[in-house]
A and B are shown apart, each in its own frame.
Chain A
Amino acid sequence: MTLEEISRTIEAEVITGQDSLKTEVRIGCASDLMSDVLAFAKPDAILLTGLANRQVVYTADVADIHAICFIRGKRPDEETIKLAEQKGQVLMTTRLPMFVSCGRLFKNGLTGLGYLDISKRNDRG
């Protein structure tokens, strides 16, 4: 799905990154726990999250994620938006809750990470 299709599907307002809406995204990743995003997210995913601080932008940047959608109408502060612009990220916000946002995207063809081998992490942990 393109970011444009995603924003339409979950009625999201684009905060920054209008120019990149044609970008194709393969995977959705929904989490409020940034460590899990760092551990499991795949590049070229869109991150859906209820957190709206600067660390979300840093986390996405480090994890090669270039699009973030805040749910339940959350909106980051101006400094966070500026940071996202610097890092070339697309930010959007939807009034829908997390479950409904994910459900709609999944129904429209966006997939998740698939089966995660969490045991591997436990073994090594």
Chain B
Amino acid sequence: MTEDRSFTKIQELTYELRVRDAMVADVITVRPKQAIHDLRDMMRDKGFSGSPVVDKGKVVGLISIEDFIKCLAQGEMDVLIEQKMTRDPVTLYADEPLVHAVKKFDQYGFGRFPVIERNGRKLVGILTKGDIIKCLLKKLEVEYHEEEIHRYRASHIFEDIVADKTNLVLRYDITGKDFDRAGQAASELKKALHRLGIQPEIVRRIAIAAFEAEINIIVFTDGGQLSISVCSERITITASDSGPGIADIEQAMQPSFSTAPDWIREMGFGAGMGLCNIKNCTDEMNLVSEVGKGTTLEAVVYLNGKS
């Protein structure tokens, strides 16, 4: 199963990465009018095994170590490169996905492809199979490292700390009628949950539910608390206030039912969607209220799917 997954991952990367990411940009080139014997020095000094033949910036051919050996065997060391090179070689564009390059290696069986710009066809690099493998390994290593850091953040609290049960509580005090700051708690909470390494989609659901709960406390009460309890299997949002309470909870839960004053509607809220939004973003929601005493809303999101 692991093998299957990593195969898919590499396939995915070959679509994501471009030829430019894998190629070697520092290319040794030769000119068509140079003699074959010039290649001898290059082989010795630079470990040459094949090189694009470039005339006026354009790739006109490819000369390989095999071509050189043939010339050596036949004593043709003074012949010009243009007579022995492979003409009009197959090239790759720098902006092509790497998967195209992989296909071309399979299709032609060549050891290398010159890489050119799509516009102007200028030579910008060279690509071998080895370059592709190096690039993929490097990318996999970087992604693995990122994943490791990401996971470490979460495990730092929920795995490294040894206890029978670990529970992290974030509490935000909400001031009633302070609309200017409305949304601040939800926004800060979102940042905190990201740092804890919670999955982005779950962070988003919690933040949306918390935002609506925060707005409700600000609009309808003189203040209250928003607390978020995080443990390894679930996140629980509790919003509590000692405000006026809700007389008819069933009615309050109806979409579009609202008792919000006009000023809050002008601010873009108060359309009666708040409680529905909370319910839709979370796996469980419970609302308890007593007129004159206050309201407590509890909503739960399970971290590993619904329990």
Contacts and interface: CB of A to CB of B under 8 A. Distances in A.
A110 interface: no
Contact of B254 (A53, A54, A125): A125
A125 B279 CA distance: 8
B183 A62 contact: yes
Nearest to B254: A125
Nearest to A38: B208
Nearest to A37: B268
Contacts of B208: 38-39, 62-63
A62 B207 contact: yes
A115 B212 CA distance: 24
Contact of A35 (B180, B184, B253, B271): B271
B12 to A, nearest CB: 19
Contacts of A64: 200, 204
A87 interface: yes
B204 A33 contact: no
B7 to A, nearest CB: 28
A121 B106 CA distance: 52
Contacts, number: 83
B187 A53 contact: no
A59 interface: yes
A124 B280 contact: yes
B269 interface: yes
Contact of A63 (B204, B254, B279): B204
Interface string B168-192: 0000000000011011101100100
A32 B277 CA distance: 16
A54 B190 CA distance: 17
B183 A35 contact: no
A62 B276 contact: no
Interface residues of B, number: 29
A24 interface: no
A55 B269 contact: yes
A83 to B, nearest CB: 9
Contacts of B243: none
Contacts of B267: 34, 51, 53, 55
Interface string B145-165: 000000000000000000000
Contact of A58 (B187, B200, B204, B271): B187
A59 B212 CA distance: 10
A36 B187 contact: no
Given A55-B267, A121-B255, A39 B190 contact: no
A56 interface: yes
Contacts of B254: 125
B273 A62 contact: no
Interface of B: 179-180, 182-184, 186-187, 190, 200, 204, 207-208, 210-212, 253-255, 267-269, 271, 273-277, 279-280
Minimum-distance CB pairs A-B, first 9? A58-B183, A34-B268, A35-B273, A125-B255, A125-B276, A62-B207, A51-B268, A38-B208, A39-B277
7 contacts: A33-B271, A35-B274, A51-B268, A58-B211, A120-B280, A122-B255, A125-B253
Given A38-B211, A38-B277, 16 more contacts: A33-B268, A33-B271, A38-B212, A49-B268, A54-B180, A54-B182, A54-B183, A57-B183, A58-B182, A58-B187, A59-B268, A62-B187, A62-B190, A121-B255, A125-B254, A125-B276
